[in-house]
Amino acid sequence: MYINGVEIEDAFAEAFKMRAARLIITAVNPRWALIAAQVTTGFATSVIACGCEAGIEGTVPRDETPDGRPGVSVLIFAMGSKQLEDQLMRRIGQCVMTCATTACFNGLESDEKLKIGKALRYFGDGFQTSKLLPSGITEDRGKGGRRLWRIPVMEGEFLVEESFGIQRAIGGGNFLILGENSTLTLEAAEKAVEAMKVVKGVVLPFPGGIVRSGSKTTSKYKFLRASTNTAYCPTIRNQTDSALPEGVNCVLEIVIDGLDEESIREAMRVGIQAACIPGIVRISAGNYGGTLGQYHFHLREILG
């Protein structure tokens, strides 16, 4: 299979089970909502060392936020509910509550919930108060609807939802862009990232959505559980079992975390199509023979 002269390898991306939460962060204006979202998703590229994977899903207009202010949607992924609870506590408490003018609301409807706001309320030192979202902003659920906590801070008050829904999700969807040189490969990756931004329900957790240090799940060192993906490193192609075809001198990877299989498939589809520009030799994907994850995203199947 070829797209614009670029070979689509008969390969699959191997992804794995995760848990995810969606935060809706609002502020007095879009600038401060974005600042809070950027800080909240910092140091969240990989669960290998960061504890979670996170990214900005997109902006939320005033008429779609619970408090009628401009907002940003953030997705946070972890390997389990307990790990996700820990990350939400840290990131909402240290990154959103500390940011000027912000509020933080749950963005996922789910039966499984974590009572993040209920725990953070104690920062109010006994002066915290609760409220319910009034009729017209949200539908009542159970006994009284969605509960919020008002925590006094030096600027005024921080408004945070008591419970945040979490759901099963998928991490590690990916594809590899193999190019003639670093300039063209980066250009292709940037085009892919731009195309994927419109897909709801996914984030690209690595810097700018792009990974240059792709990894494999083995290492010659016993104390490491991951190491550089030697098969795709052009500088050592003559020293290892290389997967690089002739003419390829740069490889960049795009990793996708999503709330479901459909959203990851769509993100991969539009991203790969956008990346097929002159100077790109092949599109491939990272997998470990099916030993890492339960989800397999076959490139040629996705592209039809």
What is the arithmetic mean of pLDDT over 21-43?
98
Task: Point out the least confidently predicted range of 6-10, 29-33, 133-137, 293-297.
Answer: 133-137
What pLDDT does residue 139 have?
40
Strands 103-106 and 156-161: parallel
Within 10 angstroms of residue 94's Cβ, the number of other Cβ atoms is 12
The span from the CA of 104 to the CA of 159, in Å, is: 6
- The structure tokens listed for 179 are 């190019």
What is the arithmetic mean of pLDDT over 37-59?
97
Bridge partner list, 228: 215
- The structure tokens listed for 283 are 């599109």
Confidence of residue 136 (pLDDT cuts 50, 70, 90): very low
Helix, strand, coil shares, percent, the chain, to 5? 25, 35, 40
DSSP 40: H
Report the SS3 class of residue 12: strand
Task: For the chain, count helices (H), then strands (E).
Answer: 6, 17
The span from the CA of 175 to the CA of 303, in Å, is: 12
Bridge partner list, 151: 158
pLDDT at 19 over 90: yes
With beta carbons less than 8 A apart as the criterion, state whether 174 and 265 touch. no
Q: What is the pLDDT of residues 212-261, one digit of tens each?
A: 999 998 999 999 989 999 999 999 999 999 999 999 999 999 999 999 99
CATH number, domain 2-14+170-302, options 3.30.70.520, 3.30.750.24, 3.50.50.60, 3.40.50.2300:
3.30.70.520
CATH number for the region 19-167 comes to 3.30.70.520
Q: For all residues of the chain together, what is the average pLDDT?
A: 95
What pLDDT does residue 290 have?
80
With beta carbons less than 8 A apart as the criterion, state whether 27 and 174 touch. no
Q: What is the pLDDT of residues 140-184, one digit of tens each?
A: 344 457 899 999 999 999 999 999 999 999 999 999 999 999 999
Q: Could you tell me the sign of the dihedral formed by the alpha carbons of 177, 182, 183, 189, in that order?
A: positive
pTM for this predicted structure? 0.93
Confidence of residue 199 (pLDDT cuts 50, 70, 90): very high
Residue ranges, comma separated, of all CATH 3.30.70.520 domains in the chain are 2-14+170-302, 19-167
- The structure tokens listed for 103 are 């509020």
Confidence of residue 288 (pLDDT cuts 50, 70, 90): confident
